[in-house]
Amino acid sequence: MNLIRNLIPKKREGNKMTEKKKVKPTKVLDHLVHEDPFSKGVAFCPGCGLELLLRFIPQVMGNDIVITGTPSCSAPVLLGQNNQSWHSLSYFGTLMTGAAANATGLARYYRKAGIDNTVVCFNGDGTAADIGFGNLSGAAERNEPFIYICYDNEGYMNTGIQKSGTTPFGATTTTTPYGAAATQGKNLRRMNLGLKMAMHKIPYTATATLSDLDDLAKKLKKAKEMKNQGFCFLHILAPCPTGWGLAPHNTIEACRRAVKSNYFPLWEAINGRIRMTKTVKKPKPVATYTELMKKFAHLSEADLQILQDDIDYEYCLLGGLSVLEAECQLPLSEED
């Protein structure tokens, strides 16, 4: 910090030099207390939100975390290349069908050995929502003591941009293309993975994005604190410029508009009890979000209305659940 202060430019008043008013660093920096374990150049696409996320997590949670993951967009960097590594973290690769089962084994071993460690199961939506959901749900039901982080880029971006369960209505992918006789983009609505996990009533569930880093950091810290109580799940929106047709410089702006339109609301749940961590007083139309990317470029007004209705419904559902504990009282039976 002394070096930073020495670099603050000064302005001249008469023959005197006076310091400009010091600008207080953003509070996000207060969370970055650990070194970045990744090399300066890594094999991610330009503008990939995943790189920011991967660098951010250990700087907040610590470099002693043990990451386990599967074939995905993160795998080329986490696994390394040839006999070289892109980072200094502990990493264990596994199959998409058994990601949470693998993390379970690691967490149980550390607990049995008396080693205080944090296992982070780090996967995309293809593993979390589709191929590996069975053992993800099983680990949550058993309340296994590890953290599962799903970076959601809404499709199988590493294997050819195919649709997944979290791909939204109308989006074009290689398996739901626009222009073919049988399809005009995905004709089904996305699943709400975060809400699905909250209904397991695990110790901690949360959503986060790359545009609200203070919120993300607080949730990472809370998950690390609560993993001793059992299973913790974070659902993080991570735009894919390559697969979405998004300009690389708009990655953070896409996250920002996703929150402001309630396309991806920010909330957390402790033991299934939901609380909104950021409330948008005047939500923007979803069109302000979809206009940034080519995968939605073909949507008609009618299509946009279907997407908007789905977003409004999910947000009302979340809002209702968030006040349920305070307002809902179970009726007493006649015996009572």
Q: Could you give the 3-state DSSP secondary structure of residue 37?
A: coil
In degrees, to the nearest 5, what angle opens at C-alpha 254 toward C-alphas 30 and 165? 105
- Cβ proximity of 130 and 99 under 8 Å: no
Bridge partner residues of 69 (DSSP): 93, 122
Query: Quick one: 13 exposed, middle or buried, by C-beta within 10 A (0-12, 13-18, 19+)?
Result: exposed
CA distance 244 to 227: 33
Q: Which of 114, 133, 173, 147 is nearest to 295 (CA)?
A: 173
CA distance 116 to 56: 22
| Residue 332 lies inside a defined structural domain of this protein | no
Task: Print the domain residue range for 248.
Answer: 41-325
| Residue 110 lies inside a defined structural domain of this protein | yes
Q: Which of 204, 75, 218 is nearest to 140 (CA)?
A: 204
Q: The dihedral of CA 239, 300, 129, 269: what is its sign? A: positive
| Residue 130 lies inside a defined structural domain of this protein | yes
CA distance 299 to 291: 10
CA distance 249 to 255: 12
| Residue 136 lies inside a defined structural domain of this protein | yes
CA distance 163 to 280: 29
Residue count of the chain, please give it. 336
Q: Is the pTM of this model over 0.85?
A: yes
Count of C-beta atoms within a 10 Å radius of residue 245 = 15
| Residue 20 lies inside a defined structural domain of this protein | no
Write the pLDDT tens digit of every residue in 244-283.
999 999 999 999 999 999 999 999 999 999 999 999 999 9
| Residue 292 lies inside a defined structural domain of this protein | yes
What's the domain count of the chain? 1
What is the reported pLDDT for 325?
A: 57
| Residue 254 lies inside a defined structural domain of this protein | yes
Residue recorded with tokens 């949550």: 140
| Residue 46 lies inside a defined structural domain of this protein | yes
Any residues with CB less than 8 A from the CB of 8 and at least 6 apart, and which? 19, 20, 22
CATH number, residue 260: 3.40.50.970
CA distance 206 to 277: 9
Give me the tens of pLDDT residue by residue for the chain, a chain 336 residues long. 333 333 344 444 455 544 555 656 668 889 999 999 999 888 899 999 999 999 999 999 999 999 999 999 988 899 887 788 899 999 999 999 999 999 999 999 999 999 999 999 999 999 999 999 999 999 999 999 999 999 999 999 999 999 999 999 999 999 999 986 667 899 999 999 999 999 999 999 999 999 999 999 999 999 999 999 999 999 999 999 999 999 999 999 999 999 999 999 999 999 999 999 999 999 999 999 999 999 999 999 999 999 999 999 999 999 888 876 555 554 544 554
Count of C-beta atoms within a 10 Å radius of residue 281 = 4
